[in-house]
């Protein structure tokens, strides 16, 4: 698995076309806005926030799945804890997890699945859930930054 990941990264680094990260602005009912980097490359989907030292202020990552489902994520090789928010296709929060610890050795735990189908998972710095006051059933607003 690790070898496949390294080969995939190497291929895309040397032969893939570089593109700027897509950003979705996520607005919470409390008025808090989050700049979420879209996990839209094979590397981001596979590694997420792994190997990063920190997130920018009010930054995060959003995973957009092709279908609703009981999606799960890991924090393998993360360097900081994260909060996770599962969101359905109508942009309502269906599940949250505070302070998912980084995992540095196998086996790493899988976080989720949510109690209901989700289309998106948003990862943010640990403490964001408490700071922003987000709760289950909150409706989030998304805006693609061009």
Please tell me the predicted confidence (pLDDT) of residue 5: 45
Please tell me the predicted confidence (pLDDT) of residue 13: 42
Please tell me the predicted confidence (pLDDT) of residue 16: 45
Q: How is the chain split into domains, by residue range?
A: 23-145
Please tell me the predicted confidence (pLDDT) of residue 20: 67
Please tell me the predicted confidence (pLDDT) of residue 21: 79
Q: What is the DSSP string of 8-52?
A: HHHHHHHHSPP-PPPEEEEE-TTS-EEEEEE--SHHHHHHTTTT-
Using an 8 Å Cβ cutoff, are 111 and 100 in contact?
A: yes
Q: How far apart are CA 15 and CA 115, in angstroms?
A: 40
Q: How far apart are CA 122 and CA 18, in angstroms?
A: 23
Tell me the pLDDT tens digit for each residue of 48-96: 999 999 999 899 999 999 999 999 999 999 999 999 999 999 999 999 9
Tell me the pLDDT tens digit for each residue of 9-24: 444 443 444 456 799 9
Tell me the pLDDT tens digit for each residue of 39-52: 999 899 889 999 99
CATH class of 23-145: mainly beta
């Amino acid at each position: 698995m690790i070898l496949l990941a390294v080969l995939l990264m190497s291929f895309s680094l040397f032969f893939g076309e570089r593109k700027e990260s897509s950003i979705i602005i996520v607005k919470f009912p409390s008025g808090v806005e989050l700049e979420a980097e879209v996990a839209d490359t094979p590397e981001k989907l596979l590694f997420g926030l792994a190997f990063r030292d920190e997130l920018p202020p009010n930054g995060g990552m959003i995973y957009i799945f092709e279908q609703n489902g009981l999606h799960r994520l890991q924090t393998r090789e993360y360097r900081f804890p994260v909060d996770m928010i599962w969101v359905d296709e109508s942009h309502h929060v269906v599940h949250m997890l505070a302070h998912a610890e980084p995992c540095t050795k196998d086996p790493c735990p899988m976080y989720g699945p949510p109690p209901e189908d989700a289309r998106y998972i948003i990862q943010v710095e640990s403490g964001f859930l408490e700071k922003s006051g987000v709760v289950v059933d909150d409706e989030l607003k998304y805006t693609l930054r061009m």
